[in-house]
């Protein structure tokens, strides 16, 4: 596919075919096929170390795969030029797990940062855009505060305002629910859904909290053992009978994903007689 060809109507915003990735001798993805529809909320879940963050790096063109095709909004990410990748990334908002606020900037300047770096806008327009985004996350009154004066939940909301300041077509949320109190969690869930419904933004959630994901996601893809182990609506997967879904969603130690890292026989290593695990 040409790197700049336009996608046909109703095609998925992101289309991945035959994705294969090997890092440090370990196979992360082995022939993954994945579609992420426009305007929906898609959750990427799975055990730690299965490549969820790596998948986001592939989608944004930060890390090329060893094989496969990744098309985002008609752009062939694997073959795109540097200029095409930069243009694509300007349409993507990213909410980092640790918020990644600039500690020497006020809340206002943190949200304004992408506008000042990438666009030449009149100061009055910058002010209006930033205050509008802060109003959307309930923090317009905190515009002049410093990040050190914010709670963890407030920092996450400021980071979300920054992620949406340029009205992106896609927002990637990296562990957006970690460390949030119930009030902040509920507000973040409402904001994610509201953004999708009112602005038509496509959202990808990388998360582990099934209860939160079930409230907001349209579809879940469970990544494990280099494959998409299961995919479907949250309710469908939570009732799934595959060993992957049973272990992951029930939090069981026994299953396809081993709880114990490979090690010599436990009793033998302790010098006990009889052997055994």
The whole-number average pLDDT for the span 143-151 is 94
Domain boundaries, position 140? 108-167
Residue ending a domain, choose from 149, 167, 185: 167
pLDDT, one tens digit per residue, over 176-235 is 887 778 887 888 888 888 888 888 889 999 988 888 898 999 999 999 889 998 898 988
CB atoms near residue 125 (< 10 Å): 11
Which has the closest alpha carbon to 159: 87, 103, 228? 103
- pLDDT category at 3 given cuts 50, 70, 90 is very low
Residue with tokens 């302790």: 270
The tokens for 49 are 């170390």
CATH number, domain containing residue 27: 3.40.50.300
Specify whether the CB–CB gap between 55 and 232 falls below 8 A.
Answer: no
- pLDDT of 6 strictly over 60: no
CB atoms near residue 197 (< 10 Å): 11
Q: How far does CA 90 lie from the centroid of its chain? A: 16
Q: Which residue has the higher pLDDT, 99 or 143?
A: 143
Q: How far apart are CA 123 and CA 154, in angstroms?
A: 25
**Strand partners for 147:** none
Residue 4 confidence (pLDDT): 41
Element (H, E) at 42: strand 41-45
pLDDT, one tens digit per residue, over 231-267 is 989 888 777 667 666 666 655 555 555 555 667 777 7
**Torsion angle in degrees (nearest 10) through CA of 96, 99, 105, 107:** 110
**Residue 180 belongs to a domain:** yes
Q: How far apart are CA 182 and CA 161, in angstroms?
A: 20
Residue 63 confidence (pLDDT): 93
Same domain flag for 181 and 133: no
**Residue 5 belongs to a domain:** no
- pLDDT of 110 strictly over 80: yes
**Per-chain mean pLDDT for the chain:** 85
**Residue 103 belongs to a domain:** no
Going by the DSSP 8-state scheme, the letter that residue 18 receives in this structure is: E
Q: How far apart are CA 178 and CA 23, in angstroms?
A: 27
Q: Tell me the pTM.
A: 0.79
Same domain flag for 131 and 175: no
Residue 259 confidence (pLDDT): 53
- pLDDT of 141 strictly over 90: yes
Same domain flag for 76 and 205: yes
The structural domain count of the chain equals: 2
Same domain flag for 71 and 174: yes
Q: Please report, in angstroms and rounded to a whole number, the separation of the first and last CA atoms in the chain.
A: 53
Same domain flag for 187 and 263: yes
pLDDT, one tens digit per residue, over 68-108 is 999 999 999 999 999 999 999 989 998 887 788 999 999 99
Same domain flag for 161 and 219: no
What are residue 268's phi and psi, to 5 degrees?
-65, -40
Same domain flag for 262 and 133: no
Same domain flag for 155 and 57: no
- pLDDT of 2 strictly over 80: no
Residue 9 confidence (pLDDT): 43
Residue 234 confidence (pLDDT): 86
Residue with tokens 């939940």: 153
Same domain flag for 116 and 179: no
**Residue 9 belongs to a domain:** no
Residue 256 confidence (pLDDT): 55
Same domain flag for 209 and 259: yes
Helices marked H in the chain: 52-59, 82-89, 107-118, 123-136, 152-163, 182-199, 210-216, 234-238, 243-250, 266-270
């Amino acid at each position: 596919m040409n790197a700049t060809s336009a996608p046909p109507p109703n095609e998925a915003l992101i289309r991945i075919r035959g994705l294969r990735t090997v890092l440090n001798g370990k196979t992360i993805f082995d022939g993954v096929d994945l579609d992420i529809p426009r305007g929906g909320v898609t959750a990427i879940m799975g055990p730690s170390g299965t490549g969820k963050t790596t998948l986001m790096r592939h989608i944004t063109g930060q890390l090329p795969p060893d094989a496969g095709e990744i098309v985002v909004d008609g752009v062939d990410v694997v073959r795109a030029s540097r200029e095409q990748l930069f243009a694509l990334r300007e349409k993507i908002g990213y909410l980092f797990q640790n918020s990644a606020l600039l500690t020497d900037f006020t809340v206002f300047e943190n949200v304004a940062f992408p506008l000042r770096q990438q666009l030449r806008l009149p100061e009055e327009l910058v002010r209006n855009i930033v205050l509008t985004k802060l109003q959307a996350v309930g923090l317009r009154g905190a515009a002049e505060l410093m990040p050190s004066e914010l709670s963890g939940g407030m920092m996450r909301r400021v980071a979300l305002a920054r992620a949406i300041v340029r009205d992106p077509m896609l927002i990637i949320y990296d562990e957006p629910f970690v460390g949030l109190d119930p009030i902040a969690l509920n507000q973040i869930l409402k904001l994610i859904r509201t953004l999708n419904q009112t602005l038509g933004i496509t959202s990808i959630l990388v998360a582990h909290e099934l209860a939160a994901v079930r409230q907001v996601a349209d579809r879940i893809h469970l990544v494990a053992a280099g494959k998409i182990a299961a995919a479907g609506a949250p309710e469908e997967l939570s009732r799934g009978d595959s060993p992957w879904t049973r272990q992951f969603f029930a939090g069981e130690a026994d299953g396809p994903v081993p709880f114990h890292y490979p090690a010599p026989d436990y009793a033998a290593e302790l010098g006990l007689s009889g052997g055994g695990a």
